[in-house]
């Protein structure tokens, strides 16, 4: 008989294992319904949450959601668990852990200290008991700082990835978007292009284009082409100017296999990128992207809910000390996250869970045209993430990505957030902007002079 059960009036809800309990306790989203793992009623969902609240955190070290023998991410999670860091919270249940996280005594230092003692499943579990407000309040207490050519994630600072995509990777088209973005103060997290094709020659020319612009204007930032990790590895060996190594990752070994990756391959690429030693103030060289629903869409979720799968991907990210981790929350479509409400909830969960595990979380605040969402929902999410202390968002011309055909956040959106919340760019990048006459000492935008050097870059 299962130990996971709860009676409400005359109905006893039974949950056969931890995996089932986690799925049933998840706030509703379309992807869990599609997977057939969500609660059948509102009451059953709360019964699952009440049951989950009483589960000791220690249980998560003994009962795994995907078998140890079958999944290298489960092995990574269990084998790399830090019992010493865990000690401070090892006596708590999931519910007690939620209250502990919110208490005034639990500060930034405490949270940083326990991070290695947390497993993704513990963190996913506690998030299911938390309201949006709780997710924001605890994430705000976390501080995850990473460095390459600048410093990202300091409290009071907020960065952007400049995303100058073009449908045919046309160098001039890409460059025009880069210059526009730089003049709006975008690009301190990275200047990162999603290439239209994964051909090494095309990726290499984009890398050189960005490296030239960066050198020409002495910009304290890092560049990245978001090609497959095998392409990046090949280009590193050929001597291309690779700052950051990118890869999309998921939370099960099978899903990662469908991406053409595994832990050994990431390790190889990580070491190769590290060996280039191109960072000036630090050497966090990895850039990972994730998103709820990726495991299910690869038919590789093993009956685990999509949010728990997502947090398991963070175990992969954590191993390689990334500069940036980006949850591309609304890109996957309405069969996984149906509307603005679900997208916002998922993004706050991802940000909270990542931060708690010690990751430099950013978010692609985004949606597709077949989702029930619009730019107002993105404004809401953007503002909530700003309050929560999100490390970075995307900067895309007019929020409209003409290559990937979805909507995200604009250069203007980042400026809005900095203004209403008093946030500043990465310190090194801020100084560069002042020198370039893009902002003044107070951080206000200055009108662009028609003879500005950056405008001359296209000639």
User: Of 321 and 412, which has the nearer Cβ to other proteins?
Assistant: 412
Pick the binder of other proteins from 412, 424, 434, 437 (CB under 8 A). 412
Closest approach of other proteins to the CB of residue 302, in Å: 18
Eight-class DSSP state of 432: H
d(CA 291, CA 327) in angstroms, rounded, equals 5
Among 209, 120, 137, residue whose Cα is nearest residue 172: 209
Give the total of residues touching other proteins (CB under 8 A): 47
d(CA 230, CA 237) in angstroms, rounded, equals 11
User: Of 46 and 196, which has the nearer Cβ to other proteins?
Assistant: 196
Diameter of the chain measured on Cα atoms: 77
User: Of 122 and 300, which has the nearer Cβ to other proteins?
Assistant: 300
On whether the CB atoms of residues 118 and 92 are closer than 8 A, the answer is: no
Report the alpha-carbon angle 440-183-188, nearest 5: 85
Please say whether the dihedral angle defined by the alpha carbons of residues 456, 442, 429 and 224, taken in this order, is positive or negative: negative
| Six token digits for residue 241 | 């100017």
434 binds other proteins (CB under 8 A): no
In the numeric block, the tokens 């980006």 are attached to 326
Among 98, 17, 28, 15, residue whose Cα is nearest residue 60: 17
User: Of 93 and 410, which has the nearer Cβ to other proteins?
Assistant: 410
Pick the binder of other proteins from 400, 422, 431, 440 (CB under 8 A). 400
298 binds other proteins (CB under 8 A): no
Pick the binder of other proteins from 375, 383, 424, 434 (CB under 8 A). 375
Beta pairing class for 151-152 and 146-147: antiparallel
User: Of 94 and 396, which has the nearer Cβ to other proteins?
Assistant: 396
Contact region with other proteins (CB under 8 A), list: 135-143, 173-181, 250-258, 264-272: 173-181
How far, in Å, are 26, 48, 305 from residue 372 at the CA level? 20, 28, 22
Contact region with other proteins (CB under 8 A), list: 48-56, 309-317, 324-332, 402-410: 402-410
176 binds other proteins (CB under 8 A): yes
415 binds other proteins (CB under 8 A): yes
Please say whether the dihedral angle defined by the alpha carbons of residues 100, 102, 103 and 109, taken in this order, is positive or negative: positive
User: Of 59 and 368, which has the nearer Cβ to other proteins?
Assistant: 368
441 binds other proteins (CB under 8 A): no
User: Of 67 and 398, which has the nearer Cβ to other proteins?
Assistant: 398
Interaction residues for other proteins, span 310-369 (CB under 8 A): 334-335, 338, 368-369
d(CA 212, CA 217) in angstroms, rounded, equals 9
On whether the CB atoms of residues 98 and 69 are closer than 8 A, the answer is: no
399 binds other proteins (CB under 8 A): yes
Residues that bind other proteins in the complex, under the rule CB under 8 A? 30, 33-34, 164-166, 170, 172-177, 179-180, 183-184, 334-335, 338, 368-370, 374-375, 396-400, 402, 405, 407, 410, 412, 415-416, 418-419, 445, 447-450, 452, 455, 458
């Amino acid at each position: 008989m299962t130990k996971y059960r709860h009676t409400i009036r005359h109905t006893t809800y039974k949950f056969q294992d931890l995996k089932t309990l986690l799925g049933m306790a998840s706030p509703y989203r379309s992807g869990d319904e599609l997977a057939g793992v969500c609660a059948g009623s509102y009451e059953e969902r709360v019964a699952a949450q009440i049951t989950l609240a009483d589960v000791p955190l220690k249980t998560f070290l003994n009962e795994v959601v995907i078998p140890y023998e079958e999944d290298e991410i489960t092995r990574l999670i269990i084998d790399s668990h830090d019992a010493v860091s865990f000690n401070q919270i090892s006596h708590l249940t999931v519910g007690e852990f939620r209250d502990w996280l919110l208490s005034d005594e639990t500060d930034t230092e405490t949270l940083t200290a326990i991070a290695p003692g947390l497993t993704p499943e513990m963190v996913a579990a506690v998030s299911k008991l938390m309201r949006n407000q709780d997710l924001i309040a605890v994430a705000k207490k976390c501080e995850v700082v990473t460095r390459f050519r600048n410093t990202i994630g300091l409290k009071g600072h907020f960065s952007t990835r400049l995303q100058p995509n073009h449908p045919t990777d046309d160098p001039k088209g890409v460059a025009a978007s880069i210059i526009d973005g730089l003049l709006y103060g975008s690009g301190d997290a990275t200047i990162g292009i999603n290439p239209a094709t994964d051909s090494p020659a095309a990726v290499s020319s984009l890398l050189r284009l960005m490296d030239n612009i960066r050198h020409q204007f002495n910009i304290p930032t890092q560049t990245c082409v978001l090609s497959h990790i095998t392409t990046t590895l090949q280009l590193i060996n050929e001597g291309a100017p690779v700052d950051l190594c990118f890869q999309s990752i998921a939370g099960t070994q099978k899903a990662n296999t469908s991406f053409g990756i595994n832990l050994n391959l990431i390790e190889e690429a990580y070491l190769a990128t590290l060996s280039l030693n191109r960072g000036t103030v630090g050497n966090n060289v990895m850039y990972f992207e994730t998103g709820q629903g990726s495991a299910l869409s690869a038919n590789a979720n093993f009956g685990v809910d999509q949010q728990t799968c997502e947090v398991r991907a963070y175990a992969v990210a954590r191993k390689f000390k990334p500069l940036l981790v980006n949850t591309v929350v609304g890109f996957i479509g309405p069969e996984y996250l149906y509307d603005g409400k679900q997208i916002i909830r998922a993004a706050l969960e991802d940000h909270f869970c990542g931060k708690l595990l010690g990751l430099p979380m950013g978010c692609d605040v985004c949606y597709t045209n077949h989702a029930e969402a619009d730019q107002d929902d993105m404004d809401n999410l953007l503002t909530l993430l700003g309050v929560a202390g999100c490390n970075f968002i995307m900067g895309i011309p007019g929020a409209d990505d003409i290559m990937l055909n979805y909507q995200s956040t604009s250069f203007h959106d980042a400026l809005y957030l900095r203004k209403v919340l008093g946030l500043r760019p990465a310190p090194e990048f801020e100084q560069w902007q002042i020198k370039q006459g893009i902002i003044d000492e107070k951080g206000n935008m200055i009108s662009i002079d028609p003879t500005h050097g950056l405008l001359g870059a296209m000639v």
